[in-house]
Every structure is written in C-alpha cells, then in structure tokens.
Amino acid sequence: VTPELASSREETCVFLVASSLLCTKTRNSSSSDTEKNFELLQQIVERWPHLGVRSIPLATSFIQAAVTQKDHNVGVVPALRFLCSAATIDPSCAQQVWSIMSTLTEHPSVVRTASIRMFFLLCKANRKLYGRVRDCLGRYCSSPDTKTRIAATATLCDLAREDLIRDVSDVISWLQRCLGDDEAIVVYYVLMTLHHLIRAGELDFDLVIKVISKTLIRCDDIVSIIELSPVVVEALVVLLGDGAQSFGDGSDKDDSSDEDSEISPQVEVAVSTLLALAKEYKEKIDGDSESALRTLNLIYSSLSGYNVGELGVDTDALRSLLSCDDPSEPGVLGGCAGYSSLKSIVMDGLVMCRPEFPDKASD
C-alpha cells in the first residue's frame, strides 16, 4: 500500500498488526527478535510519521518493563532506537520523546548510558533538539561515572562524524578537558572527535596538534606514545594523518605545487612521528601481531594522504641521490630525509604481502 492510496483505516490496521506482533512476540523473544519487531514498526512509522504519537506509549511500556526486570538488552536498546529515530521525525512527538529520554538518564548506569548513546539519533531525526542534547552532553562529559563519560564522548564523536555539531566552540572546552581523562576509551573518542572536526574543516590541524602536545602527550615523543593504551595510539595515528594539504579545500593539486607550499612544523612532526612509529610497530608484529598489525595499517593509511614534499622528499635532491655513485657524500641526503624511511616501508610491505607460491621442483 502506497502512502498516496492508503486510507486512514488501512494505516490503522497496518499499525495495529505491527503493534500486536510486537506485543505477542517480544514477551518471550530474544534480543534479535525484538529488534526485528521494532524495525517493522519503525518502517511503518517512517512511512506514516503521524502514527509516531500512537507508538510512543508502546515503546515506553517496553522500556519500563525492561528496566523493572533488568532485561536491558532485550527491551531498552531497540525501543530507545525506535523512539529516537522514527518516532522523533514527527515534530509533535519530539517534546514527548525528549521528556522520556530525560527521565531515563536518571536511571542506573546501564539505562543512562544507553539513553545517552541515542542522543545522536535524536539530533539526526530532529535537529531542533540539538541545543538540549548539547547541554546534556556538557554535563555528562564531567560526570564522575566512567561509563557516563564514555557514552557522552562517544556520542560527541558520532555528532562530529555526521557533521551535526553546529558550533565547535560549544564542545572544544569539553574535549580539551577530556583529553586528560584517566580512562583510555574516553581519550580515544576525544581524539576521533577532533579527527572528524578537522576533516570537516571546523578545526585547524596545527592548533589541534599543539593542544594535544600540551594536554595529552608530545607528538614527537615516540617512546611515550608507544607506552599509551593501544586504542589511544590508534586514534592518535589516525589524527596525525589529517595534516595532509589535500584535506584543506578538496581540490586536486599537482605534486609540484604541493612541494612548493610551506610545510608547517606540526605537519613535519606528524610525518616524522608516523614514519618512526611505522618502524617501531613493524618490529612488534611478531610479538603482538593483531594489535600491532592493525596499528601499522592505520599508520600506512595516514601516511598515504601526504604528498612527496610533506613526506620530506625533495624531487631535485632525490634525482641527485639516484644519479650519485656514492650516496654517503656530504649533502647528498640533505633533501631526502624521509626517503630511506619510505623505502624501508615499501620494501617491508612487499615482503609481508608476498604470496606463497608452490615449489615447482617439489611437485
């Protein structure tokens, strides 16, 4: 039935069928079954948004039952996702949904963090709620409860990724404070939020590197970086790749114009740190293969965004090096500071990715 042809009676019948299916099956259903039932109801409400107001009591009853029975995974998350996405599309439902969400944030930690994580969907469905979400996240970022801080910074990261933060000045002080948090996951989400804001053109890369060096760790201190939590190192490596000039205006530039551009000290630090980390993590692969290899892949991905000039290789100096019989002569390697590191990375990559061919002699 298309929206144009569906009568009010038909809409009501479809809604009642979905509601009945949800009520009869969810009582003794698994988490996956509950999600599928709510997805069906969500499709109906997205097609006929005015039915959202009739679905709110149904979703609320499941949340209340789940909270009472402490069955958070089965009832709370699917119902919250439905409320914050489909039901909030109708402007007349937004205030009612927000009131429900505000009440749930006063519940025990599991329910509160689940509710905070849904704030992103609220803003995506109805941007008029952004101001209220922003004010709440500001309080939760300073919460003494670790799980609440994790949920708040993760939600900020979601908002930044989807470019839903209206004014970066609203959140920059929270991010700077949370950079010094004792919880590694909080720091991870802060770094990834900064990464998304740089990519969106909301923050300057050089300024962010200066703040990180003062608040978290010096970006040229390789030993201290390696000692950080692996998840923090991964986020830092991703952010260090944001200094590439190609992110500035999105235009395609030829290599010659890039090489002639002035390279900031922060970009030089980012590149040299990535090159040094690539060497360190290449040596760690044998000991901790999965974690080290994942980090190494992120390093390579970040380096791939920089052009030859930013990587510390001057084309004229490189020509002199390649045409010189004795590379050890004074001044020959002056403009090719990153050449040896890049060559090592390429050769190591070829060795690591070399396929295992069968030995024909043994066949």
**Tell me: the pLDDT tens digits for 283-301?**
776 655 778 888 988 998 8
Question: Higher-confidence residue: 233 or 42?
Answer: 233
User: Left, alpha or beta for 263 (phi > 0: left; psi -120 to 50: alpha)?
Assistant: beta
Residue 136 has pLDDT above 80, yes or no: yes
> Three-class SS of residue 357?
coil
Q: How many CB atoms lie within 10 A of CB 304?
A: 9
Query: What is the mean pLDDT of the segment spanning 123-142?
Result: 90
The chain-wide mean pLDDT, for the chain, equals: 78
Whole-prediction pTM: 0.80
Lowest mean pLDDT among 29-43, 199-213, 273-287, 288-302: 29-43
- pLDDT band at residue 140, thresholds of 50, 70 and 90? very high
- pLDDT band at residue 242, thresholds of 50, 70 and 90? very high
- pLDDT band at residue 318, thresholds of 50, 70 and 90? low
Give dist(CA 47, CA 3) in Å, integer.
Answer: 7
Question: Higher-confidence residue: 79 or 33?
Answer: 79
Q: Nearest-CA neighbor of 271 among 244, 248, 252? A: 244
Report long-range pairs for 46-51 (Cβ below 8 Å, ≥24 apart): 46/86, 46/89, 47/3, 48/3, 48/6, 48/11, 48/15, 49/86, 49/89, 49/90, 50/90, 51/11, 51/15
Residue 87 has pLDDT above 70, yes or no: yes
Query: What is the mean pLDDT of the segment spanning 272-278?
Result: 90
User: Can you name the residues that pair with 336 across neighbouring β-strands?
Assistant: 313
Max mean pLDDT range (47-61, 206-220, 333-347):
206-220
- CA torsion 64-66-69-74 (nearest 10°) is 170
Residue 249 has pLDDT above 70, yes or no: no
Question: Higher-confidence residue: 21 or 56?
Answer: 56
Which residue do the tokens 């004792």 mark? 182
Residue 334 has pLDDT above 60, yes or no: no
Amino acid of residue 90 = D
Query: What is the mean pLDDT of the segment spanning 220-245?
Result: 92
- Residue 172's φ and ψ, nearest 5 degrees, are -60, -35
User: Can you name the residues that pair with 313 across neighbouring β-strands?
Assistant: 336
Question: Higher-confidence residue: 69 or 223?
Answer: 223
